[in-house]
Amino acid sequence: MEVLVLAALSRCPVFRGLHDYEIDFLMQTVNYRMVNYSKNDVFVLAGMPCRYADIIIKGEMSARMVGVSGKYIEVSRLQSGNIVAPAFIFATDKSMPVSVETETDVEILRMTPAELQSLIDVDERVRKNFINTLSDINAFLTRKMRMVSLLTVREKVAFFLIDAANKQKSETVHLDKSRQEIADTFGIQKFSLMRCLSELVDAGAVAVEGKTITILDRRKLR
């Protein structure tokens, strides 16, 4: 197995805790193939069935859904090591609730659901990891739904900044998305995001410089 492929699989939560040689051995027991997509390709449209167990080897994709206002909301970003739509691989209703598009050129390792099932049956760790992955997704979507549907724009921005600061372990947050992409994540207009950031700067809550936002006072974010 190629080094790049094995490195991506080692980052996949389904194979958490397994050594590279164990992953390599397991993958030799199933038939998989490599599939390539170009940048801005439609990977799947909302409503289409999830037919495969796909793991991203290289590149990035975004999952979006249409909100009640008709505006697209970015649900998540998928990167190397992510398994695509694991909750729908074995679902009774396999209809995808989101559309997925490539943000870059993408390489996918593709298996059938039956082949993934064989990996789950063979190794107890893979079985537990897959269950944990589903649990993590459920928790993520619960937080996402709260942010999109219940919070005000200011609360959404505060939630995003505090969550990013906690993940980066710094009050200085380095953004890896454009303002438009962040607005899409919240399901709001870009000008609403910019106005909110300006208000937070005026309030002394944050300092903004390009793609770097420094939290000056968490209390003023609330």
> Residues of 126-150 as b/e, b for ≥16 C-beta within 10 angstroms?
beebbeebeeebeeeeeebeebbee
**CATH class for the region spanning 3-149:** mainly beta
pLDDT reading at 3 higher than 70: yes
Mean pLDDT across the chain: 89
Residues 83-98 have pLDDT tens digits of 999 999 999 999 998 8
Cα-based distances in Å from 95 to 107, 109, 130, 201: 23, 21, 20, 43
- Read off the pLDDT of each residue in 165-184 and give the average, rounded to a whole number: 87
Instruction: Specify the pLDDT at position 69.
Output: 57
Q: What is the CATH number of domain 153-221?
A: 1.10.10.10
* Domain residue ranges of the chain, discontinuous segments joined by +: 3-149, 153-221
pLDDT reading at 148 higher than 70: no
Instruction: Specify the pLDDT at position 180.
Output: 85
Place 137 in a pLDDT band, splitting at 50, 70 and 90.
confident
**Exposure of 216 by Cβ count < 10 A (0-12 exposed, 13-18 middle, 19+ buried)?**
middle
Instruction: Specify the pLDDT at position 185.
Output: 75
Place 68 in a pLDDT band, splitting at 50, 70 and 90.
low
Instruction: Specify the pLDDT at position 12.
Output: 96
* 153-221 has the same fold as 3-149: no
Instruction: Specify the pLDDT at position 194.
Output: 92
pLDDT reading at 115 higher than 90: yes
Instruction: Specify the pLDDT at position 85.
Output: 92
pLDDT reading at 222 higher than 80: no
The enclosing H or E element of 63 equals strand 61-66
- Read off the pLDDT of each residue in 160-177 and give the average, rounded to a whole number: 88
Q: Output 200 or 67, whichever has higher pLDDT.
A: 200
Instruction: Specify the pLDDT at position 61.
Output: 95
